[in-house]
Amino acid sequence: MFRKHAGEAPAGYTAWEASGLLWLEEAEESGGARVVRVHDVQTDHLDLERLSPVPPTNFQADAFGAALAATHAAGAPAFGSPPARWTTHGFLGPSIRPLPLPLQETSTWGEFYGEQRVLHTYRLGRNQGTFDTDGDRTLFEAVAARLATGEHDTDDAPARLHGDLWAGNVMWTRSGGVLVDPAAHGGHREGDLAMLMLFRGPHVARIVAAYDEAAPLADGWQERVPLHQLHPVMLHAVLFGGGYVEQARSIARRYV
């Protein structure tokens, strides 16, 4: 067993993570990706299954891509819906400084992403001086306005997202890839794939190709990858500053 301490995370952080893990685990029955098992939840820690990491193989990467498609296909009530067993906002970011993650059910992905991800994160940055120019406000509000028109929406139904699927949150074991540390919610399935491609890990190209074969992605998905990466880059700008600030602006300019 592995004990994950919450550190200085706010009240509810461990229950939030556990609810996401259990919600993702439900998808395993229909072929979804394996999820680390939750043994116990306390206010200051989680007791989780201990995993023994090994380097992934090509076969495991292919299998994980197909399984991730099945996880997404398990669905969610709406864009922005929280995982089962959770009813309020969530958290995203390191446990030493998790940031609030709005979770309000929304009828379209563009409206959800523009307001609850782009503008919400811009406001977090503005309040601490990260995004502090009139140009920043104009830029991110313009992106959100275009998102709200539905221009970038697809016919995809709300997916059961991991929500923080950078390479470090896929633990490779002898049995294949295992999901850990989610910020699970209902969203666009392209979001998890874009996050996986943002901080590239082993066999990302194979994972995405296997996913696309199992559940073909909508036309133009490659052009939307940076748009889905905008929120995590903005979040990194808020948390860490540095080059992430200009990277966020650069991505946003592509979608004004």
Tokens of 130: 């990260």
Across the range 200-206, mean pLDDT stands at 91
- Of 18-32, 67-81, 88-102, 152-166, where does mean pLDDT reach its minimum? 88-102
pLDDT for residue 202 is more than 90: no
pLDDT for residue 201 is more than 90: no
- Angstrom distance (rounded) from CA 97 to CA 157: 32
Beta carbons of 14 and 46 less than 8 angstroms apart: yes
CATH topology of domain 51-254: Aminoglycoside 3'-phosphotransferase; Chain: A, domain 2 (3.90.1200)
Sign (positive or negative) of CA dihedral 44, 80, 169, 130: negative
pLDDT for residue 200 is more than 90: no
pLDDT of residue 88: 93
Confidence of residue 132 (pLDDT cuts 50, 70, 90): confident
pLDDT of residue 62: 98
Give pLDDT tens digits for 4-15.
998 888 989 999
Beta carbons of 198 and 181 less than 8 angstroms apart: no
Backbone φ and ψ for 229, nearest 5 degrees, come out as -80, -10
pLDDT of residue 248: 98
pLDDT for residue 222 is more than 90: yes
pLDDT for residue 133 is more than 90: no
pLDDT of residue 155: 97
DSSP the chain: -EEEE-TTPPTTHHHHHHHHHHHHHHGGGGTPPEEPPEEEEETTEEEE------PPPHHHHHHHHHHHHHHHHT--SSBTPPPTT--S-EEES-TTSPEEE----BSSHHHHHIIIIIIHHHHHHHHHTSS-SHHHHHHHHHHHHHHHTTTT--SPPPEEE-S---GGGEEEETTEEEE-S---EEE-HHHHHHHHHHT--TTHHHHHHHHHHHSPPPTTHHHHHHHHHHHHHHHHHHHH-THHHHHHHHHHHTT-
Instruction: Tell me which of 94 and 54 has the higher pLDDT.
Output: 54
Give pLDDT tens digits for 7-65.
888 989 999 999 999 999 999 999 999 999 999 999 999 999 999 999 999 999 999 99
pLDDT of residue 224: 98
Give pLDDT tens digits for 238-250.
999 999 999 999 9
pLDDT of residue 199: 86
Across the range 201-229, mean pLDDT stands at 97
- Residues 6 or more apart whose Cβ sits within 8 Å of residue 231: 113, 117, 118, 121
Confidence of residue 178 (pLDDT cuts 50, 70, 90): very high
Confidence of residue 151 (pLDDT cuts 50, 70, 90): very high
